[in-house]
Structure 1
């Protein structure tokens, strides 16, 4: 089937649902560790509490990719049914997460939230490849990254924004502040509305041979054999990209799980107070705990706001790429290498920064984030069978979640412990990991993956 060239606004509409998806991810990434700490988690246990997120991605994305490849609905098409289901579940989970009364409840909600976001997210990657010609794919993934950047910046600032209009940052021990609850409620609303916008403004191409599609769909479910067969026969370029993804996502999982405890302690000097260290029956001690807890909650707002800057800088980075790739090809390999190494420098500089300059570290990290969300997928989509795009995108997610699982099971604590006991060492490890990921781009040699060559 010959695909037509899409306009900017058509690509914008088909990617707009990622605004909501990123609201969910940014609130999860920026504030789940804060919720865990508020509910009494210590710093070393936080990565393990996060293990739900990569585990659900490992299980959900290949399944959804396989199912969406084999789906065709007369009104909603191939990918959009999954957008809708994921949006409804994610919005409900986002709303209820900050009402968790215990650590196990918060961890359970994180599991539900991440599974639901993955149901929506995986088909979005495949939709870009479905709808766009080879020559427009880099452009399409970059537009998607632009929208993700907008969502990251706004969502990361939501608790700070609502606290500025008078919503309280203070709360009793073990209770999530109202500013976080309101922010998550707004995120739930934006998630659902943005997905619905894409569903109503975007159409999909039907299968080229509907009869063959129906015959294939009617065959006995071969999900496990198909997955294993495609894993065993994945293209060499995909394996090389997997190495890059491993070190990239180890770094970002480290940031999401440990940036809040590391930066509130090292940069703002307001670590989360440990309730057992205070005699809560003593009025003075109880007041001291409240003062320390409020300081931690306010500095957590500022950490979240600073983290939002990486979304803003990734948005600027993506905008520059949109303007460039709308007319020209780029060398994806070197763009990705440079971006990851700049992001690694941003993490390392956190050790030396001040509260006023923390945002500049995240500006540098934003270049890496913008590239991670576009370049690997553009390179991958030029290297795999288009009829199995959903499945391969799901399998590719293994290279995202496996490093996160390793990090959650003690990888972060072990590697950062080699540098010392300070919590900020986790951010240094993230920086080193990103620099290694950047250098691994030198492994990519497939010319069509590096820069699409029109015939």
Structure 2
């Protein structure tokens, strides 16, 4: 077996530099989309359902892109063609979104933006597994985390910087997005494209034949750019699919007849849709197909043990994060600045302060990223991640306790520690246990455990804030903090099969 060479610092830098643009766009989205929606007329309890387009798109796009990139090889390489396409689409979406003429148009642009970011981001994760030996993958993902944190600092601060340093208007007439936000998105689109192109042209991917040599295979042994043959218990999948379809229909009928929150339709329809996909996969397998949907459904049902163990902890962690992403603006503007009117000075000051807070937790994440490989090597990746999640959970919940907005920086330090670990250690564990031929599709499937809690957050939190929490968005963040602590406890189940850095 030929050893995969270790990369030096600057090679790691070039390989991950595209994440500067990806996260710049993601930071602008997280810090400003709720603000754009409210400016265009959305009420506070409508915000979660408007966010739902993005995660639903990611649920579909990431495994498909992963599957396709596992089987792609051309002059650009395996993953880089997807970097290029995603960068072009995401940059265009960033240019257009803050100029949306209506709320429905902005929601549609969020759909396109999130899909485009996913097209770039998912292969970037698999890229680390492709290019690095096991013992260097924690360091590789930590480099990505550094770029995510550093670029998010600037991305989250952009409206504040433009309005306070460059005197760009931070308010606008009713129904119009302020210029500070518009120019932030335009600059973000340019940064996204340029940085992703840096990675595309500065890194050479290993060929399928080189990957076979790294894994002790003969060059002619199977299809290095594709998958292996497999068996699918089509009867079990047909039965399971039928039950999911029936369950989805019954749940949908209950939501309608009992007047439950409309966001729950996403869960009921999603369960039914997955049941239909299982039925189609079972039918196609019986007809002789072993590729496309059939293989994706098979791989999903046969995930590595460590991936299954990580999944539940991921769900609770990301539920907490999306509670913060969705409700940070509403919570801080109302609980700490005393205004829920998007046209008021206090509201816009609070919304800008949210951008500052997001830059703080991302800045902390960038710094902590350099410590994670050291801590993981001295203890373990699991125990390091557990400790970080506990700190993050208490940090998020403390936002309720601190009434002075400036003290929220303390909360963000705790959240930043958890964010840094979340972007590094689960992916390092995962990349060590999945087959190299399926690195892309399993990285894409791992996104399910980011998207599902986002759907849950959008479906459930709107109902809770409107009823149980009496419109107090800050209580959604307290719930998020508790969810993150639960995730830390669930990490006790995870068996990390490799402890390299």
Corresponding residue of 1:56:
57
Instruction: Give the distance between the partners of 1:217 and 1:434, measured in 2 at CA.
Output: 36
Corresponding residue of 2:25:
24
Deviation of the 1:215 alpha carbon: 9.0
Instruction: Give the distance between the partners of 1:399 and 1:3, measured in 2 at CA.
Output: 30
**Structure 2 unaligned blocks of 5 or more:** 213-218, 230-288
Counterpart mapping for 1:186-197 below 5 A: 186-197=187-198
Deviation of the 1:36 alpha carbon: 0.5
Deviation of the 1:322 alpha carbon: 5.2
* Aligned 8 A contact 1:307 1:359 in 2: no
Identify which of 351, 360, 365 aligns with 2:410.
360
Counterpart mapping for 1:225-244 below 5 A: 225-244=294-313
* Aligned 8 A contact 2:136 2:500 in 1: no
Corresponding residue of 2:12:
11
Length-normalised TM-score, structure 2: 0.82
Deviation of the 1:9 alpha carbon: 1.0
Corresponding residue of 1:175:
176
Corresponding residue of 2:348:
297
* Aligned 8 A contact 2:337 2:346 in 1: no
> Any idea what SS the aligned residue of 1:47 has?
helix
Instruction: Give the distance between the partners of 2:394 and 2:224, measured in 1 at CA.
Output: 51
Corresponding residue of 1:250:
319
**Structure 1 unaligned blocks of 5 or more:** 274-289
Instruction: Give the distance between the partners of 1:267 and 1:214, measured in 2 at CA.
Output: 56
Deviation of the 1:340 alpha carbon: 0.8
Corresponding residue of 2:246:
none
Residue deviations 1:227-273, cap 9 Å, x none? 11111111121111000110011111111111101111001112225
Instruction: Give the distance between the partners of 1:168 and 1:413, measured in 2 at CA.
Output: 35
Identify which of 427, 433, 441 aligns with 1:383.
433
Alpha-carbon spacing, 1:415–1:435, altered in 2? closer, same or farther (3 Å): farther
Instruction: Give the distance between the partners of 2:379 and 2:74, measured in 1 at CA.
Output: 36
Instruction: Give the distance between the partners of 1:359 and 1:444, measured in 2 at CA.
Output: 32
> Any idea what SS the aligned residue of 1:213 has?
coil
Instruction: Give the distance between the partners of 2:390 and 2:310, measured in 1 at CA.
Output: 16
Corresponding residue of 2:500:
452
> Any idea what SS the aligned residue of 1:382 has?
helix
Alpha-carbon spacing, 1:31–1:216, altered in 2? closer, same or farther (3 Å): closer
Corresponding residue of 2:207:
206
Counterpart mapping for 1:375-454 below 5 A: 375-411=425-461, 413-414=463-464, 417-446=467-496, 448-449=497-498, 451-452=499-500
Instruction: Give the distance between the partners of 1:215 and 1:423, measured in 2 at CA.
Output: 48
> Any idea what SS the aligned residue of 1:71 has?
coil
Identify which of 374, 393, 413 aligns with 1:344.
393
* Aligned 8 A contact 1:143 1:322 in 2: no
Corresponding residue of 2:130:
130
Instruction: Give the distance between the partners of 2:441 and 2:447, measured in 1 at CA.
Output: 10
Alpha-carbon spacing, 1:417–1:243, altered in 2? closer, same or farther (3 Å): farther
* Aligned 8 A contact 1:416 1:426 in 2: no
* 1:314 and 2:383 correspond: no
Identify which of 331, 335, 348 aligns with 2:384.
335
Alpha-carbon spacing, 1:254–1:445, altered in 2? closer, same or farther (3 Å): same
Residue deviations 1:287-310, cap 9 Å, x none? xxx5x2x33222211111111111
Length-normalised TM-score, structure 1: 0.90
* Aligned 8 A contact 1:15 1:147 in 2: yes
* Aligned 8 A contact 2:64 2:444 in 1: yes
